[in-house]
Amino acid sequence: MAAPDSIRFCPSCGRPIIHKEIEGQPRPYCVACDRVYFQDPKVAAAVLIEKEGKALLVKRANIPERGKWTLPAGFVDAGEDPQEAAQRECHEETGLHISIQSLLDVFSGKEHERGADIVILYRGRIESGALTAGDDAQQVAFFGPDELPPLAFDATRKSIQCWLHSLKMDKD
Ligand SMILES: [Zn+2]
């Protein structure tokens, strides 16, 4: 579905949408239904998986940033638990079944047209499965702190910083 700010006709009754100032902003509004179409943020879930001091990354098959690497991640479906979304996306992209260990961070800020407004970063642990690139991943591999490939997106760079920081904390 189109973003609510680009809605021209009411999804409920089909009449033209107007923009009405509500709570300080012009928002899509249907007079007939007396209904406001609020624009909700898109939420993604990402997962950091570490094995033998290396982090699991996936090489993007799609634009934008095709060919660069990110953490296993994807959009949270409506009604889906973000932890389950992280597990599902990780399985689709890497073939691995994981469990969620902890919440590491939450990032905000849309980076591109099709991007998420909010990214929830978990730490995960491999439970089963064989490493295989799937879905929108070209390749999947583990990388040590000194052998990181070109990373896509700020959220990935921040996530990797978070991981490098945790490695340093473990050493101290
Ligand atoms: Zn309507």
Contact call for residues 116 and 26 (beta carbons, < 8 A):
no
Q: How far is the CA of 32 from the centre of ligand 1 (A)?
A: 5
Contact call for residues 59 and 71 (beta carbons, < 8 A):
no
* pLDDT at 5 (0 to 100): 53
Which of 38, 118, 61, 50 has its CA nearest to residue 85?
Answer: 118
Contact call for residues 73 and 107 (beta carbons, < 8 A):
no
Q: How far is the CA of 10 from the centre of ligand 1 (A)?
A: 5
pLDDT digits 0-9 by tens, 2-35: 444 578 999 999 999 999 998 888 899 999 999 9
Query: How much is the CA Rg of the chain, to the nearest whole Å?
Result: 19
Same domain? For 31 and 87 the reply is no
Contact call for residues 120 and 163 (beta carbons, < 8 A):
no
Q: How far is the CA of 132 from the centre of ligand 1 (A)?
A: 46
* pLDDT at 172 (0 to 100): 74
Nearest-5° Cα angle at 73, 150 to 55: 55
Q: How far is the CA of 14 from the centre of ligand 1 (A)?
A: 6
Q: How far is the CA of 37 from the centre of ligand 1 (A)?
A: 10
Percent with pLDDT over 90 in the chain = 77
Q: How far is the CA of 140 from the centre of ligand 1 (A)?
A: 46
Q: How far is the CA of 13 from the centre of ligand 1 (A)?
A: 4
Same domain? For 80 and 165 the reply is yes
Same domain? For 12 and 77 the reply is no
Q: Which of 2-6, 30-34, 93-97, 99-103 is least confident?
A: 2-6
The domain that contains 63 carries what CATH number?
3.90.79.10
Supply the range of the domain harboring residue 25. 4-36
Same domain? For 30 and 49 the reply is no
Q: How far is the CA of 79 from the centre of ligand 1 (A)?
A: 24
Assess whether pLDDT exceeds 90 at residue 98: yes
Quick check: pTM over 0.75? Answer: yes
Q: How far is the CA of 5 from the centre of ligand 1 (A)?
A: 15
38/51 Cα distance (integer angstroms): 42
Count: domains in the chain:
2
* pLDDT at 171 (0 to 100): 77
Same domain? For 79 and 152 the reply is yes
Confidence category of residue 1, pLDDT binned at 50, 70, 90: very low
pLDDT digits 0-9 by tens, 48-86: 999 999 999 999 988 889 999 999 999 999 999 999 999
Q: How far is the CA of 22 from the centre of ligand 1 (A)?
A: 17
